[in-house]
């Protein structure tokens, strides 16, 4: 009776452990199934593949080293054949500066710096030169006399009428006169250099028209103090040649080249397009805007007669970008933040997100500098 009871009890315990073990095993399987780790992804079915192909277009990517791009900027109309005139030295501007719009001939004095000591210094330099020339003339005359005296003493010495000492004294006097002539010649050259310096200084006190043209703008007026090389007059050569002065950010400025073509539209003539070429690039950025100056000359393939200086224009410069970049359509971008974003790339025939670096946006396309390679398939939603 006791043995039978013990056997029944053991059977119940073993059976209970068996049930508990089965329960834990089944629960573990359910737990693994619900974790979402997806350690083994099932292969997509034929229907799933067909569905994905319906949702996406696939574009095979190609990396190119050259790209034609348009750089958009704006600027104002100016003259391409104008330049600034200035004094190489500072001072106060005298009266008599010509007015804006005046037509002038080559060599005409446009502005002068007042210097009350200039006349006195000119007189002193001229007087010094005259004195040096008189000294030179006297030295040359004395030299001729010394030559004659030496010659006479030598003849007397040969006739036994003069001693060797007399010959030596005459020779010493002759050499001394030659030295004085050289000294006088140096004095004349020094006096002449002082006069020349005054003349150069006078030139620096004047601004003259470099050729026939027109005064476009007066930037400093009579009585004002100006610094050396401070712009005083904006001068324009004869014959109007228009240009757009625009600012371009450093990122785009690096790719602009002289001779690049441009399309120009003025706000005053929105239906009319003008052509131009880049004829000048700045060296330093504008301290106010941080952009680099670009001068775009307008080509005479359109009527320019209605244009006026200062008109605002929108410009597109066509240039070539020499960089290894991948071009993709804008609608391929899933998300973006500044110049970074994400796209879908096909891996094992399924879309996988890929981070990219955007170098530039061009109309409906993006130029990608990093994240995409040749031969990859870009997936774009239809």
Instruction: Outline where DSSP puts E strands in 172-299.
Output: 206-208, 213-218, 225-226, 231-237, 242-248, 261-266, 269-285, 292-298
pLDDT of residue 10: 34
More confident position, 116 or 57 = 57
Q: What are the phi and psi torsion angles at 135 (to 5°)? A: -60, -40
Return the closest-CA partner of residue 355 out of 376, 367, 377, 370. 370
Tokens (6 digits) for 53: 């192909």
Please state the length of the chain.
Answer: 382
> What does the pLDDT look like over 120-146, one tens digit per residue?
788 888 899 999 999 999 999 999 999
Strands 377-381 and 365-370 turn out to be unpaired
pLDDT of residue 322: 80
Whose tokens are 């996988």? That residue is 352
Mean pLDDT of 2-10: 40
> CA dihedral in degrees (131, 132, 137, 140; nearest 10)?
150
> What does the pLDDT look like over 12-48, one tens digit per residue?
433 444 444 444 433 443 333 344 444 444 444 444 4
Q: For residue 204, with 0-12 CB atoms within 10 Å meaning exposed, 13-18 middle and 19 or more buried, which class applies?
A: middle
Local structure of 91: helix, strand or coil: strand
Mean pLDDT of 304-331: 87
The distance between the two most distant Cα atoms of the chain, rounded to a whole number of Å, is: 184
The answer to whether 221 touches 75, Cβ cutoff 8 Å, is no
User: Percent of the chain beyond pLDDT 70?
Assistant: 84
> What does the pLDDT look like over 164-176, one tens digit per residue?
998 899 999 999 9
Tokens (6 digits) for 178: 């030659």
pLDDT of residue 148: 93
pTM: 0.48
Mean pLDDT of 136-164: 91
pLDDT of residue 96: 64
Q: List the Cα angle 54/57/60 in 5-degree steps.
A: 145
Mean pLDDT of 336-344: 89
Distance CA 70, CA 296 (A): 14
Distance CA 232, CA 88 (A): 11
Distance CA 241, CA 7 (A): 118
Distance CA 282, CA 89 (A): 25
pLDDT of residue 31: 36
More confident position, 200 or 264 = 264
List the 213-218 sheet strands across, edge first.
82-86, 231-237, 213-218, 103-104
Return the closest-CA partner of residue 372 out of 352, 318, 381. 352
Please enumerate in sequence order all residues whose Cβ is within 8 A of that of 210, keeping only pairs 6 or more positions apart, or say none.
85, 106, 235
Please enumerate in sequence order all residues whose Cβ is within 8 A of that of 154, keeping only pairs 6 or more positions apart, or say none.
167, 170
More confident position, 101 or 369 = 369
335 pLDDT exceeds 50?
A: yes
Distance CA 122, CA 194 (A): 9
pLDDT of residue 136: 93
**Residue 99 per-residue DSSP state:** P
Q: What are the phi and psi torsion angles at 11 (to 5°)? A: -60, -40
Distance CA 283, CA 22 (A): 82
pLDDT of residue 159: 85
Strands 213-218 and 231-237 turn out to be antiparallel
User: Percent of the chain beyond pLDDT 90?
Assistant: 28
Tokens (6 digits) for 119: 């006349």
pLDDT of residue 287: 85
- Which range, 84-98, 103-117, 229-243, 366-380, is most confident? 366-380
> What does the pLDDT look like over 282-315, one tens digit per residue?
888 888 888 999 999 998 877 887 888 889 999 9
pLDDT of residue 182: 94
Distance CA 291, CA 71 (A): 13
Whose tokens are 């690049």? That residue is 260
pLDDT of residue 97: 67
Q: For residue 147, with 0-12 CB atoms within 10 Å meaning exposed, 13-18 middle and 19 or more buried, which class applies?
A: middle
> What does the pLDDT look like over 188-218, one tens digit per residue?
999 899 888 877 777 778 888 888 888 888 8
111 pLDDT exceeds 50?
A: yes
The answer to whether 344 touches 352, Cβ cutoff 8 Å, is yes
């Amino acid at each position: 009776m006791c043995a039978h009871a013990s056997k029944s009890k053991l059977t119940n315990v073993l059976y209970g452990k068996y049930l508990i073990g089965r329960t834990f095993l089944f629960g573990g399987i359910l737990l693994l199934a619900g974790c979402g780790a997806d350690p083994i992804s099932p292969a997509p079915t034929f229907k799933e593949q067909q569905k994905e192909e319906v949702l996406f277009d696939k574009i095979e990517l190609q990396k190119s080293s050259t790209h034609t791009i348009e750089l958009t900027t704006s600027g104002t109309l100016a003259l391409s054949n104008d330049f600034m005139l200035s004094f190489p030295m500072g001072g106060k501007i005298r009266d008599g500066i010509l007015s804006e719009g005046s037509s002038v001939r080559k060599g005409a004095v446009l502005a002068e710096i007042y210097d009350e000591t200039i006349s006195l210094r000119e007189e002193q330099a001229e007087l010094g030169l005259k004195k040096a020339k008189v000294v030179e003339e006297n030295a040359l005359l004395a030299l001729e006399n010394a030559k004659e005296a030496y010659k006479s003493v030598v003849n007397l010495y040969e006739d036994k009428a003069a001693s060797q000492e007399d010959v030596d004294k005459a020779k010493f006097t002759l050499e001394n006169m030659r030295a004085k002539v050289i000294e006088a010649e140096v004095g004349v050259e020094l006096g002449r250099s002082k006069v020349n310096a005054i003349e150069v200084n006078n030139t620096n006190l004047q601004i003259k028209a470099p050729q026939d043209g027109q005064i476009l703008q007066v930037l400093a007026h009579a009585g004002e103090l100006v610094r050396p090389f401070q712009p005083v007059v904006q001068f324009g050569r004869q014959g109007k040649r228009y240009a757009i002065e625009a600012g371009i950010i450093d990122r785009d400025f690096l790719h602009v080249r002289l001779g690049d073509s441009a399309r120009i539209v003025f706000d005053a003539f929105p239906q009319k397009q003008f052509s131009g070429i880049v004829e000048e690039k700045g060296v330093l950025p504008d301290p106010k805007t941080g952009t680099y100056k670009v001068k775009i000359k307008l080509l005479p393939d359109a009527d320019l007669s209605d244009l006026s200086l200062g008109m605002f224009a929108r410009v597109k410069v066509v240039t070539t970008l020499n960089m290894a970049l991948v071009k993709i359509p804008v609608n391929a971008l899933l998300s973006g933040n500044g110049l970074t974003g994400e796209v879908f790339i096909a891996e094992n025939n399924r879309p996988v997100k890929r981070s990219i670096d955007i170098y530039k946006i061009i109309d409906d396309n993006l130029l990608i500098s990093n994240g995409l390679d040749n031969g990859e398939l870009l997936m774009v939603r239809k």
